Amino acid sequence: MADMLVLYGNELWVFACCLVLGAIVGILAGLLGIGGGLLVVPALVWLLPQAGVEANLVMHIALGTSLASIVLTSGSSARNHFRLGNVDLAIVRSLAPGVVLGGLGGSFVAELVPTSLLPKIFAIIVLLLATQMLLSMRFSSQRDLPGGVGTFCSGGMIGVVSSLAGIGGGSLTVPFLNWHGVEMRRAIGCASFSGALIAIAGMSGFVLAGVGEQTLPPMSLGYVYLPALLGIVLVSMQTTRYGAAWVSHLPTPVLKKIFAVFLLFISIKMFMG
């Protein structure tokens, strides 16, 4: 009985932490066009063991739950950016096939990777994203987007990497679009849309991959842990509008540099275990 009370208490603590996490994630999603997975995954890696999740499942559940939260967070952010005129549907349509297939493929690749390697892979991806943010904050480019095949392949790579890292891909999509001449606000708006698509595909893969796993914690849907998901999205869906509204007023490049330093810290911590 005492063990059950401790477990329920820990689950409530995880839920409360996810409420706070959701507030931060929602603002960053609206402001930077990211889904928040770069914060959600390491936070869940720390929180899930406190809810009784077995060590060999922590990374898979963190990735699956992160992608599930991004579906709603990025979707809410995309809706707000669409209302503000920051979304180019033609760009979204050109990226959609590649990011969806890549997102689905990445989730199955993660299932094949040894559990002990997943944190290292995540850390490497985060390190590369942080470096990209620090070195290439804004591009002055008049390049056109690549043709159909080039855009499909680019979207596929973004989808695979994003699904493996449990992110919505905004950290990749925004610089990719801006490098090809898409103005920053539109790049952020389009990244929100494509991030939701990546997350839907990736989440579906993690749900299917987790079916039949005998040691999943209660209240799980495949590799998606529902209490953490609920805590994050209850708040993040409300705070995305503030981030979207601030895009036109706050110095986004400066914020990205601060965020990049934070990512470097996360990467180092994940490498150290």
Of 211, 189, 231, 206, the C-alpha closest to 69 is 231
| CA dihedral angle for residue 48, residue 44, residue 122, residue 205, rounded to 10 degrees | 80
CA distance linking residue 128 with residue 26, whole number of Å = 23
pLDDT at position 3 is 46
Backbone angles phi, psi at 224, to 5 degrees: -110, 120
Q: What is the DSSP string of 161-190?
A: HHHHHTS-SHHHHHHHHHHTT--HHHHHHH
Q: How many CB atoms lie within 10 A of CB 220?
A: 21
CA distance linking residue 255 with residue 121, whole number of Å = 25
Helical residues (DSSP H) of the chain, grouped into ranges: 2-32, 37-47, 55-83, 89-112, 118-135, 148-165, 170-179, 184-210, 226-246, 252-272
CA distance linking residue 93 with residue 254, whole number of Å = 30
Sole residue written with tokens 């449990």: 166
Give the residue numbers spanning the domain of 253. Answer: 2-272
> What is the tally of structural domains in the chain?
1
Q: What is the residue-level pLDDT of the chain in tens, covering all 273 positions?
A: 444 444 456 678 888 888 998 888 888 777 766 667 778 888 899 888 888 888 888 988 998 998 898 888 888 888 888 888 888 888 888 888 998 898 888 888 877 877 777 777 877 877 877 777 676 555 455 567 777 788 888 888 888 888 877 777 777 787 788 777 777 778 888 888 888 888 888 888 888 888 878 788 888 888 999 999 999 989 888 887 787 777 666 666 666 676 677 777 777 877 775
Of 215, 201, 220, 37, the C-alpha closest to 109 is 201
pLDDT at position 118 is 75
Copy the structure tokens of residue 81.
Answer: 């950016």
CA angle 175–176–182, rounded 5-degree value: 85
How do strand 224-225 and strand 220-221 relate by DSSP bridges?
Answer: antiparallel
CA distance linking residue 232 with residue 32, whole number of Å = 18
Copy the structure tokens of residue 160.
Answer: 């695979």
pLDDT at position 225 is 92
Residue 144: DSSP 8-state: P
pLDDT at position 224 is 92
Q: Is 87 helix (H, G, I), strand (E, B) or coil?
A: coil
Sole residue written with tokens 């992608």: 67
pLDDT at position 251 is 67
pLDDT at position 33 is 63
